[in-house]
Structure 1
Amino acid sequence: MKICKSLIVLLSLISTGTILAQTVKNPKFDSLVHKRVFHYDTKGFNGEGWDSLRAEINKAQIVLIGEQHGEAEIPVFTMNVADVFKPEALVVEIDPYTAGKLKETSLNTMGYSSYFKQNPYDFAFYSYQTEMELARQMTLAHTDIWGLNEISFLSLGTFFNTLGTIAKSPINRDLALKKAKEYALHDRPIYKNIDRYNDFTAYKLKASMVDSLLLSFRNESNECKKMLRDLRSSLPIFTNNSYVARTNMMKKNLLNYLSSYITKDAINIPKLLFKFGANHVGRTDDLKGSFEVGSLADNLADASGKLSLHILVFGKIGTINQMAPVDNTQAIIPYDVSTDKELDMFAPFYSQIQGDEWALFDLRPLRDAIGQGKVNVNPYLGKFIKAFDVLVIFGRTTGNRFIE
């Protein structure tokens, strides 16, 4: 697939659900939809809905936030969840190597502007203002950041720069750093011109080229060789040829992070806070027809005698960052959930939201009623209700701005 479509398609793979709207009146369904309101101000969140959510968070060992990408309020919500939950790690939708760079970069607030002029989309969504602030706050709180994604096709220059800095052989170091410079210079002007998105370097990479690098790096450290193997595994994901490969890489990377916590005698899962596109972090595996990392997390929590909490969150009306191009004047557009064909099926919920209020909906009574055949529901909406424990909707959404 050509990259003109690929950025949009790839990012849609990490977005929320798909189509189908619930428009028919359903009194039994509506009787099980109960809104608990809360509000946000300079002191944080407060109100009945927040109190209820805090209680649920405190019961869990793993909290998973399934989001609508591009809304500035969701990272702020995540920060407040983290303040309650105190996770050992924030688990996010970037690759493991980018996660390490993100922790380092997030602390240098004075350097943001110069960094992103050189590397416009280096951290995927964490190139947005409130996403970067979330990363900074987590790092300041000594919360680790775990990245589960494939290698980012938007930051190959940084990937090869990292590879070059850890290579021991001068020949390999020079080779990697040369590629880093070449790829960064080639890709930099493309980010602001969506008509040129077919031209990103990642879409020209061949498995044979990575195999050649693996041969050159055969005597390098295991870390170097793993980076290149991960790059090779990412190639079909770059071109959107395998959703299953993408979800499998997420699960593999999670298990790599957890390897020291799982022994033959015990599964001691630390407190983990996930923030992903909603498709990936439900407790069921039928949203996209693939066994997702959220299902794996739920099973791991269960195996260790703990609980997972799956939260779906999105805004109602305002603006949103549509993710491309890297230009706030073009990427931030008006938004209304009622015209969003991926989310308009949630009308029984968002129609109750007034003004700038936030609201919590407990989906579990609906889940039970659907499972018992007591209520009929749009089939795809039913899958989301089965996948998530609670739904959070906020009234006013703001498009998250790229850091400039």
Structure 2
Amino acid sequence: MRILISVLLIAVLAMHSAYAVQDTKPPLSYDFQLGDDGEIQGPARKWLAERGKPARFVMIGEIHGLADVPVFSKSLYKLTDRTAVAIETDVWAAKKLEDLSYDKDDSFDRYFERRSNQYAIPFYSWKEEAEFLNSVTEIAGGVRPSIWGLDQIFAFGGKIITERLRGKIRKSETKAALDAFENSLVTRPVIIGYGRQEAIEPLYQALLKEDDIEVQEIAEALKASNEIYAPFTRGAGSGLIANQRRERMMKEIFFTYFSNARKYAGLQKPMLKFGKFHMYRGITPTGVVGLGGFVDALATARGEPTLAVSIVCGEGSAARQFDGSVETCSNNDIEKSRPLIAKLAAESSGNLLIDTVALRVHGGELMKLTSDSERDELASFDAIVIIKNSKPATQFEAKIEDMDLGAILQAESER
């Protein structure tokens, strides 16, 4: 009997101990700073390392145009042992950026001193982003590609595409079609995004006749990009279907990069750095299944974790826009859609990382503050990172003003 009582007592104590451990609430948030060397410092560093190092994929859902986002990304890339980065450009813009990075002889400065080149590759005509890419290629040590472009061809991207095609096409009729397309870019540089299908069709058909796989891939990408833009630039077709097609295309291209990389560099641990909506693990605010969800499922199928981080533009920060202008951020901006995140941000004097799992499990009364859209964001990401007092991204100096964005967009509106 005494033995039985002792066993029962030990069992009760063990259960009490287990529940005591479960009742211990982890911190809901962690402070951090970006040091003078650009490294993440403070309690959040350990949290990110513990969750990021074992992750097959690290995803950053960013706010474009904050100087501190690529600084944070650069530090996180090294901290979590990444080997490649997937970004929000097309395949050929990514190739161009990687070429510029390996040149190292002020090539980013020289390339982006021409205004038209700044518009050709959005988000990467900023110095902090170039420094991030330089860090990626330095770690890669010559293994290419380490910069993976997953997106459609940008509206202003015709220049990069024609340059890529010049050295690859062989047939005289294709060269004539490319000449005509290049001439059209002089008067209408956004023809990929704003032109009707017939503006792309002659080049598309000619490229398909070339005996070169990459040339044919460019042809299909041109056609797809023009069709994806159509609902938004000329009111042709469904925006939802276009967004679905774009997201599906990015998933296919990512899987191709990831699969092919095993042949030349082994199994990769890439970072994905995209606008926030693309990194949602479920249905995005635009109503499609996000790239982040696909990537997370891919890791799950392999029995591996992912780390997904959402960036919030906090108090005192300002973001560079595509046209070079600057927009400021404040807690008032996020209170409307993210009341809980805004509250936690206001209670911290500096940058903050919110552990979304800990918040959802142990947040208690705090969780009652959340809006529907905020709950979706908390469910999609492992961490919400609030960056305060960031300067806007630094634009490369344009010494050659060969394109007037305002005039181009005004002309398109009048067509």
Take 2:179 and 2:138, find their aligned partners in 1: how far apart are those partners? 31
Q: Which residue of 1 aligns with 2:307?
A: 309
Higher RCO (CA-CA < 8 Å; seq separation 6+): 1
How far has the Cα of 1:386 moved from its partner? 0.4
Report the RMSD for the aligned CA atoms in angstroms.
Answer: 2.8
How far has the Cα of 1:238 moved from its partner? 2.0
How far has the Cα of 1:261 moved from its partner? 6.7
Q: Which residue of 1 aligns with 2:413?
A: none
Q: Which residue of 2 aligns with 1:52?
A: 47
Name the SS for the 1:317 alignment partner: coil
How far has the Cα of 1:128 moved from its partner? 1.3
Q: Tell me, which stretches of 5 or more residues in structure 2 are unaligned?
A: 1-24, 233-238, 398-415
State which drifts further: 146-155 or 114-123.
114-123
- Of 363, 371, 389 in structure 2, the residue corresponding to residue 396 of structure 1 is 389
- Of 41, 49, 63 in structure 1, the residue corresponding to residue 35 of structure 2 is 41
Q: Which residue of 1 aligns with 2:136?
A: 138
Q: Which residue of 2 aligns with 1:253?
A: 253
Q: Tell me, which stretches of 5 or more residues in structure 1 are unaligned?
A: 1-30, 188-199
How far has the Cα of 1:32 moved from its partner? 8.5
Q: Which residue of 1 aligns with 2:20?
A: none
Take 1:343 and 1:183, find their aligned partners in 2: how far apart are those partners? 40
How far has the Cα of 1:170 moved from its partner? 4.3
The alignment status of 1:110 with 2:125, answered yes or no, reads no
TM-score normalised over the length of structure 2? 0.77
Q: How does 1:283-322 map to 2 (within 5 A)?
A: 283-322=281-320
How far has the Cα of 1:373 moved from its partner? 12
Q: Which residue of 1 aligns with 2:152?
A: 150
Name the SS for the 2:332 alignment partner: helix
Could you tell me whether the CA contact under 8 Å between 2:310 and 2:383 is conserved in 1? yes
The alignment status of 1:339 with 2:330, answered yes or no, reads no
Take 1:132 and 1:251, find their aligned partners in 2: how far apart are those partners? 25
Distance 1:403 1:367, change over 3 A: same
Name the SS for the 1:97 alignment partner: helix
How far has the Cα of 1:323 moved from its partner? 1.9
Q: Which runs of 4 or more aligned residues in structure 1 lie more than 6 Å from their structure 2 counterparts after TM superposition?
A: none
Distance 1:254 1:395, change over 3 A: same
- Of 182, 197, 217 in structure 2, the residue corresponding to residue 207 of structure 1 is 197
- Of 219, 231, 237 in structure 1, the residue corresponding to residue 222 of structure 2 is 231
Specify the code of the residue in structure 1 equivalent to 2:385.
Answer: V
Specify the code of the residue in structure 2 equivalent to 1:207.
Answer: Q
The count of residues paired between Structure 1 and Structure 2 equals 351
Distance 1:185 1:213, change over 3 A: closer
Take 1:314 and 1:298, find their aligned partners in 2: how far apart are those partners? 21
Specify the code of the residue in structure 1 equivalent to 2:198.
Answer: S
Could you tell me whether the CA contact under 8 Å between 1:86 and 1:271 is conserved in 2? yes
Distance 1:332 1:319, change over 3 A: farther
Take 2:336 and 2:160, find their aligned partners in 1: how far apart are those partners? 33
Could you tell me whether the CA contact under 8 Å between 2:125 and 2:396 is conserved in 1? yes
Specify the code of the residue in structure 1 equivalent to 2:178.
Answer: A
Distance 1:110 1:270, change over 3 A: closer
Specify the code of the residue in structure 1 equivalent to 2:29.
Answer: K
Take 2:94 and 2:309, find their aligned partners in 1: how far apart are those partners? 23
Specify the code of the residue in structure 2 equivalent to 1:41.
Answer: G
Percentage of pairs with the same residue: 21
Specify the code of the residue in structure 2 equivalent to 1:39.
Answer: Q
Distance 1:208 1:262, change over 3 A: farther
How far has the Cα of 1:222 moved from its partner? 1.6
Q: Which residue of 2 aligns with 1:161?
A: 163
Take 1:177 and 1:90, find their aligned partners in 2: how far apart are those partners? 34
Name the SS for the 1:94 alignment partner: coil
How far has the Cα of 1:286 moved from its partner? 4.6
Distance 1:85 1:161, change over 3 A: same
